Amino acid sequence: MTNENYNKHKKKGEELASQMSLIELASQMRNSSKSIERLGIKQYNWWNEGLHGVARAGIATVFPQAICMAAAFDPIAIKKCADIISTEARAKYNESQSKNDYGIYKGLTLWSPNINIFRDPRWGRGHETYGEDPYLTSVLGCAFIEGIQGDDEKYYKASACAKHFCVHSGPESLRHSFNAEVSKKDFYETYIPAFEAAVKVAKVSGVMGAYNQTNGESCCASTFLINDLLRNRWGFDGYYVSDCSAIVDVIFKHNKSLNPAKGAAQAVNAGCDLECGVVYSLLPVSVALGYIDKQTLRKSVARLFAIRSALGMFDKDCKYNRISPKEYATPEHENEAVKMAKKGLVLLENDGILPLKENAQKIFITGYNADNKFAYLGNYFGDPKKFVTVPDAIKEMNKETGFEAGMHLFRSDECTGEKEALEKAANADIIIMCSGLDSSIEGEEPGGFLSGDGGTIGQQGDRESIDLPRIQQDYIEKLIATGKKIILLNFSGGCINFNDYRNRVSAIIQCWYPGAHGGKAIADILFGKCSPSGKLPVTFYNSTSDLPDFCDYSMKNRTYRYFKGDVQYPFGYGRTYTKFSLKNIELNGMTLRAEVENIGDFESDTVLQLYLTCPTADFGNPIKSLISFKRISLRPQEAVNVEFKIENDQLLSVNDLGEKVLLSGEYKLVLTDGCDFSSDPICFQVK
């Protein structure tokens, strides 16, 4: 949308807000806003979800979970998926409006993406994010936002909302009262770059505040975070919304005020325009008591109605009004979801067993996650028209295929036919074991279920360990004892400890939560319809004991940028069915050039990743940082020349004061395809 047109929508918002009474203003500042008939304003519920498909509103395309999309390292593909999500959200909105249905999850304000940093693999909501790297998160987050909001000059197709501003990644059980203490260096270097990019590059129309405090300030009532940083320094011109019931936390958990009317005023005065909750219903009382003035409420409401106007809610000529329910989960949309999943699956191990040949072996599929729908859906999902599980898809490609779960996901007291499963496994040529977690184990609060009891939907939370549940560990050992070749398909939102199996099974594929048609994507990879090409957007550590305290928000010894120990699989790692050669790598000025050749016999994508190491400083710089990447596709024996232009801003370090500085000394660049990290660095000096 052009600035000129958005300014027109801002004027519309100001015009409407100026005509509202105090009661009417307050009625528009909660997620469930009331109608004002005399002004032609319909009731509207701002709360809608679109993390990886329109959620909780009936039939919709269920794309792979965000962490799986991140593993594709493909902003073009993510933008296309977001555009489809936006189309389906419009279709649902248009249909609901025609039926005078103004309920929750029917609106155009999608509270996505989640661009928090996945700093610790135990965090239950980490799979909602784009991983542990601030640069990758920035690029992919911007792509998603642009796809949601569209490229029309006059209107937003839908409104994206970057969350959760700004230092937030667990523990889930403490999120309502927790104070994330973080240094200025970590704050400006790691936690907020993706939000800054969302505002400055993607022009995101909404930002959601986190539940917790950051350095003693409530994220939903902080003048520094919302007004000074977000609006004044970065130029954010959209609406700010609290996470749901977060204003209650400001008052009663953060103890900013024991007076709800005063607490509501504090949040609005700081710049929080919209509450997901009920406390803002007290704002007329807040005005009467002198805690806030009517003009401040009017500014917030004007911002809210600028968004509603920009979405075409007051115009009949908005071109998106024509999108119909025929757009729900179309074959074309679901095909894009499968493509996205195939790009995000990560091949961790392969002794040569993959790819399989069709109808050439007797396969036995086992493991609870093989047909566990929640292992495909993740969280924040819609209703698929159809599921395609691993057994469904493999049976289409291999006639002699059997399936028996053989075990529960985490409970040892549920009989699932282990004896029968092991007998069938012993008679197969190849065992495919579907291991891992699901959204009953990792998700939103409360936590603490993994190391014994699992959980149920609605009781998700953080993990206590990066190990598989004990029942799965025992079952995998029994499968290994059969002496058969085993392919491990792991479903989880993050790091799992595979050290006990990586040299004892034939292949391991990290499947994440691959979406409603994830089985099709997995089967296509297994049988060589395409080569795996995903890369890890998070580090796979060796042990839970390698991790710092979960409540410590310092980046010291966290993520690939700061972790100094050995790991199972590094950030950016992922194998393919071929081999790529990088040669003639040279730096000419500030442009790095290289020749990339597929020297194997399988067509494949790869992701070229460029890392930078800055000079040693008296403050702790990252070991290395991703500064650019390119996804390319090459046929066997095909070669291309690639180049990476290095911008001056990419050379800057962040010091202990949070300032960006250019250091003098030796800089190092390393280019890798994610399979081989051993190439020599290219060094250059900055004086």
Active-site amino acid positions: 243, 442
One-character DSSP codes across 579-610: -EEEEEEEEETTEEEEEEEE-SSS-EEEEEEE
Cis preceding-peptide flag for 113 (omega within 30 of 0): yes
Q: How many other CB atoms sit within 10 Å of the CB of residue 540? A: 22
Question: What span, in angstroms and rounded, lies between the C-alpha atoms of 236 and 200?
Answer: 8
Task: Tell me the sheet residues that pair with 324.
Answer: none
Question: By three-state DSSP, how is residue 627 classified?
Answer: strand
What lies within 8 Å, CB to CB, of 97 at 6+ separation is: 42
Question: Is residue 659 within 8 Å of 169, Cβ to Cβ?
Answer: no
- Phi first, then psi: what are they for 17, rounded to 5°? -65, -35
The amino acid occupying position 609 is Q
Which residue is it, tokens 């190491």?
Answer: 613
Question: By three-state DSSP, how is residue 611 classified?
Answer: strand
Cβ burial 29-57 (10 Å sphere, 16+ → b, else e): bbbbbbebeeeebeebbbbbbbbbbbbeb
Evaluate the CA torsion angle 199, 202, 205, 206 in order and state its sign. negative
Q: Residue 570 has which token pair? A: 């590094």
What lies within 8 Å, CB to CB, of 347 at 6+ separation is: 354, 507, 508, 509, 525, 532, 534, 574, 575, 576, 577
Q: How far is CA 543 from CA 172, 475, 502, in A?
A: 21, 20, 14
Q: Which of 32, 206, 201 is nearest to 110 (CA)?
A: 206
Q: Exposed (0-12), middle (13-18) or buried (19+): which is 555, by Cβ within 10 Å?
A: buried
- Phi first, then psi: what are they for 258, rounded to 5°? -85, 0
